Amino acid sequence: MKIAWKITLIYALIFVFIVVLLSFLFYINTYNVIMDEHKKNLYRSLLGLGIGRGFMMGRMMGGRISSFYISENGTIIQDPFNLGKVEKEGMYKTSEGSFVLVIKRNNYFIGEDITSTITALARLRRTVFSISLLAIIPSMIIGYFLSQKLLLPIRKIIKDAQRVNVKGGSRIDLPSAKDELWELANTLNLLFERIERAYKREEEFSSDISHELKTPLTSILGYIKMLKRWGKDNKEILEESLDILESTTLSMINMVDTLLELSRTPESLVKEEFNIKDFLEKLLEKYKKVYSGFKFGFYWEGREKLVSSKRILEMIMSILVDNAVKNSLERKEIEIGYIGNKFFVKDYGKGIPKEEIPKIFERFYKVDRSRSGKGYGLGLSLAKKLAESIGFDILVESKEKEGSSFYVIEKEKGE
């Protein structure tokens, strides 16, 4: 069942329920008012009958007294309705189908025929019930048009959503009123943006991997052909080719891992509190083993603890250290640490030209294009993206022939 019909039925049920309830309350109130009025009239009649002196005279003379039921202390004085002995107040139905209302005052019971009133009330009850049933029709009509009006902006959102292209472009128009529908449309737009970013990352990954694998695969194929021709008889060519094949394969594996990490960077990460100095000292021990030909300096001052993702920060620092190693020249020294509320990695390599600094975080960009065997230009791009995922930024200071310093700085909240 469509939502429009659900709204229509719910509205109709609520409307009919309210009409029935109000009608019932109206009937009960009318009934009570009329009965109270009859009781008052009986009280006045009882006083007007002159109970005691003159009563028997009035009775013998006839008149309107004969139309009342009257009893005193259980003794029936007159009973035109054949009610018999009455012991309590209330409404009584005679054998002829008439209705008699009896009240008590002092030692007397007095009653009168109210059949016409009961008949009128029954007619009123049927009328109220009929009106309640007839209310179903207008309530359905009103409910249907109301549901159409309420669902109109939702239908517009559906129509806009159907024409949205995940590759980019149009979005759902936000309603003018900032209500729940605005929140729904805005949430869908945010969802489409996340889908678009994921689609672009996937598209980028497919494009990059196909482009970047072509060169090493061509190289591998060339060495395989050379091995088939001369490698079987020439041990020197065999060993050289196998070394190159191994090196190329490892480089391809590193490149694929880097591309995968870059395309799958999480948007929400679990953060934890850790000691900054202990964190950097452990990294330093690892770097000394991996890059045994380099001398590492360590500096730390300032805050002791930080709440962030250790895993992501470790990846960022490792990328920056690896970049420093690749760009070092004769002076094989690298400094790492945390000073002034920022992590840093400093090398004494060839440096980066000033005009190239804005481009170093672009995908596959390399300052020195001739160093094709030293990487695929993805490290700094990945580091930048990882830093942004945990609320950090990477700044660079560099001078040619003097070296470079990379700073990992936590962004201010709201940036």
* DSSP annotation string for 100-147: EEEEEETTEEEEEE-HHHHHHHHHHHHHHHHHHHHTHHHHHHHHHHHH
| End position of a domain, from candidates 83, 112, 136 | 136
| End position of a domain, from candidates 263, 292, 316 | 263
Q: Mean pLDDT, the chain, as a whole number?
A: 80
Which residues constitute the domain of residue 367? 272-410
Whether residue 245 is predicted with pLDDT greater than 90 in this model: the reply is no
Task: Please report, for residues 24, 82, 108, 264, 327, the alpha-carbon distance to residue 91 in angstroms, rounded to integers and kept in the order given.
Answer: 21, 14, 16, 84, 109
Report which of 408, 400, 353, 361 is spatially closest to residue 380, judged by C-alpha positions.
Answer: 361
Give the up-direction half-sphere exposure of residue 356: CA atoms within 13 A in the CB hemisphere.
13
Whether residue 263 is predicted with pLDDT greater than 70 in this model: the reply is no
Confidence of residue 28 (pLDDT cuts 50, 70, 90): very high
**Would you state the pLDDT for residue 224?**
82
Most confident segment among 42-46, 163-167, 213-217, 393-397? 393-397
| Residues 391, 411 contacting (CB under 8 angstroms) | yes
Contacts of 218 (CB under 8 A, 6+ apart): none
H helix or E strand, kind and range, residue 323? helix 310-327
**355 is written with which tokens?**
């005009």
Whether residue 400 is predicted with pLDDT greater than 60 in this model: the reply is yes
Task: State the maximum Cα–Cα separation within the chain, in Å, rounded to a whole number.
Answer: 154
| Residues 38, 101 contacting (CB under 8 angstroms) | yes
Of the ranges 222-236, 245-259, 342-356, which one carries the lowest mean pLDDT score? 245-259
**Would you state the pLDDT for residue 100?**
92
**196 is written with which tokens?**
């678009």
In a domain, 52, yes or no: yes
Q: Do 315 and 373 share a domain, yes or no?
A: yes
Helix (H, G, I), strand (E, B) or coil at 373: helix
Of the ranges 232-236, 347-351, 368-372, which one carries the lowest mean pLDDT score? 368-372
Q: Do 276 and 257 share a domain, yes or no?
A: no
Whether residue 338 is predicted with pLDDT greater than 90 in this model: the reply is yes
Confidence of residue 266 (pLDDT cuts 50, 70, 90): low
The larger pLDDT score, comparing residue 69 to residue 162, is at 69
**406 is written with which tokens?**
């990379």
- CATH code of the domain containing 306: 3.30.565.10
**Would you state the pLDDT for residue 371?**
44
**353 is written with which tokens?**
């030209």
In a domain, 336, yes or no: yes
What are the b/e assignments for 54-81, b being 16+ CB within 10 Å?
A: eeeebeeeeeebeebbbbeeeeebebbb
Q: Do 244 and 331 share a domain, yes or no?
A: no
* pLDDT single digits (tens) 130-177: 888 888 888 888 877 887 777 777 778 777 777 777 666 677 777 777
Whether residue 330 is predicted with pLDDT greater than 70 in this model: the reply is yes
**Would you state the pLDDT for residue 99?**
93
Whether residue 277 is predicted with pLDDT greater than 90 in this model: the reply is yes
Confidence of residue 257 (pLDDT cuts 50, 70, 90): low
The whole-model pTM stands at: 0.47
Percentage of residues of the chain with pLDDT beyond 90? 20
Confidence of residue 333 (pLDDT cuts 50, 70, 90): very high
The DSSP symbol for 411 reads P
Of the ranges 15-24, 205-214, 379-388, which one carries the lowest mean pLDDT score? 205-214
Residue 251 CA to residue 116 CA, distance in Å, equals: 106
Angle subtended at Cα 114 by Cα 113 and Cα 116, rounded to the nearest 5 degrees: 120
Whether residue 372 is predicted with pLDDT greater than 50 in this model: the reply is no
Whether residue 42 is predicted with pLDDT greater than 70 in this model: the reply is yes
| End position of a domain, from candidates 210, 244, 263 | 263
In a domain, 152, yes or no: no
Q: Do 289 and 348 share a domain, yes or no?
A: yes
| Residues 46, 102 contacting (CB under 8 angstroms) | no
- What are the strands, taking DSSP E only, across 239-284? 272-275
Integer-rounded Cα Rg, in Å, for the chain is 48
Residue 392 CA to residue 276 CA, distance in Å, equals: 15
Whether residue 211 is predicted with pLDDT greater than 70 in this model: the reply is no
